[in-house]
Amino acid sequence: MKRENHYIKNQELILAIEDMTTEGEGIGKLDGFPFFVKDTIPGDRIRMIVTKVKKNYGYGRLKELLISSENRVEAPCPVARSCGGCRLQHLDYNGQLHFKQNQVLNCLKRIGGFEDASGKMEPIIGMDDPWHYRNKAQFPIGINKEGKAIAGFYAGRTHTIIPNTACMIQMPEAEEILEKILSYMDRYGIAPYQEKTQSGLVRHVLIRKGFHTGQLMVCLVCNGVPDDLTNRDELIELLRYIPGMSSIIFNVNTENTNRILGNRCITLWGKDNIEDTIDNIMFRISPLSFYQVNPVQTEKLYQKAMEYAALTGTETVWDMYCGIGTISLFLARKAKKVYGVEIVEQAILDARQNAAANGIDHVEFYVGKAEEVVPAWMEKTREKIDVVVLDPPRKGCDRELLATILSMQPERIVYVSCDPATLARDLKILCREDYRMEKWTAADMFPQTSHVECVCLLDKKVPDTYVKFGVDAEDYYRIKASEVAE
């Protein structure tokens, strides 16, 4: 029952937290009126200050913890509360896994209408050591009150940088790299970029690491050209001896945009890209290409996707949204033929090169929008597809693509997703007629944050029962059993 809202800003209230939003904020209700409070978890009883009141809900700030949830832990990172990166450090790891699994389950039930989703669930795949797991970091660079260059992450919902070079979910080398870049900038007066005035040079520092090869890439995203980095030889000297350093890149981004990377990369030192392996397959990674950020979990996720694809060596498979061909090459080890499609051209160049470097020649990659490339390909070839693997970005799949997949009638569809809401929306469309959700597994690719990955298997509902219907023994038509009556 909802009561007329009579709460006001800055009011102090006592609240019991019962649930969590998908973003990781605690939810508690007073007479049916919900409040969202950051840094709280179910089981907490808190004193809060009302920060915002809307018609049907409000926001609060944690003032005092009166009773602590049994899942609460001390966040190990000193900036955990102010930094917008990790939302769940105060929740113990089992609690995080439980929260993520439930998040997917709720979406499948509420958005997808899969009432039996809990019966189809396999246990979430967690990490043994959920720290320092990321192989890619994009630190915004800014300036502090003393005029010194800083690096860190944005506070939640703002572009205010919370200075921190020792991020606990990034690769450990990030700290040394950032400290060296910041000291170089201060020494030579290289200005950090400022969004308000669109002035200054260095916008972001992107760091990538191949966890298996140890190779490191540093990419300075700048509002300018390489010559603007005065004394840049000194910067290179500072960075090149860090163990594993393989590539120092200058990325040009002179636009007034929230996009981090510009399209142009200039190599200042070392190679144009780095390499990494996943389950003994070698991948070349360019600064602009997508590559899964948690290598330990990626391997487990792909193995699950492989298990669901249940390949025997005779299948023709489509890998849609294939990036640099990671899943495609995994699939190719057990498939007759694999097709991949991806919108970023550089990623497809990497994918082709990756296939060649691994001696895999039964894969074919296309550049373009999946929703345009696949329908056109299908129209042209009419080839029988056995398995479709999908791994779209957060916004999920285009309707046109889903319609094409349904017309392809593969035996199985394996849907890998980083957004359970769009996953559930798309599965509902795919399972309207011919497909049934068989099973699903959540995987924790992003410990300490509220994000969750998921893989889901769809099977053909009723295998087409064909009957032989012939004039004579040699000459028969294959007709669906359901059509015989007609």
The contact set with ligand SAH (CB under 6 A) reads 290-292, 321-323, 326-327, 341-344, 347, 369-371, 391-393
- Shortest Å, Cβ 453 to ligand SAH: 10
| Contact between 282 and 260 (Cβ < 8 Å) | no
Q: Give the C-alpha separation, 13 to 458, whole Å.
A: 47
Q: What angle do CA 317, 320, 326 make, to 5 degrees?
A: 80
Active site residue 219: no
Torsion of CA 461, 463, 464, 468, to 10 degrees: -160
Contacts 24+ apart (CB under 8 A), 235-240: 235/180, 235/181, 235/184, 236/268, 236/269, 238/180, 238/181, 238/183, 238/184, 239/177, 239/180, 239/181, 239/269, 240/269, 240/270
Closest approach of Cβ 371 to ligand SAH, in Å? 6
Residue length, the chain?
486
What ranges in 34-173 are assigned the alpha helix state H?
Answer: 93-110
CA distances from 261 to 153, 207, 440 (A): 16, 12, 34
Do 343 and 323 form a contact (C-beta atoms < 8 A)?
no
User: What residue number has its CB nearest to ligand SAH?
Assistant: 323
CB of 392 to ligand SAH, least distance (A): 6
Closest approach of ligand SAH to the CB of residue 146, in Å: 40
Nearer to ligand SAH among residue 323 and residue 410 (C-beta)? 323
CA distance 432 to 404: 14
Q: How far is the CB of 400 from ligand SAH (least distance, A)?
A: 10
Q: Strands of 233-297 (E only): list them.
A: 245-252, 264-270, 274-278, 281-285
> Catalytic residue among 418, 431, 454, 456, which?
418
Rank residues 109 and 369 by Cβ distance to ligand SAH and give the closer one. Answer: 369
CB of 295 to ligand SAH, least distance (A): 11
Closest alpha carbon to 10 in 48, 66, 54, 64? 48
Q: Which is nearer to ligand SAH, 13 or 367 (CB)?
A: 367
Q: Catalytic residues, which ones? A: 418
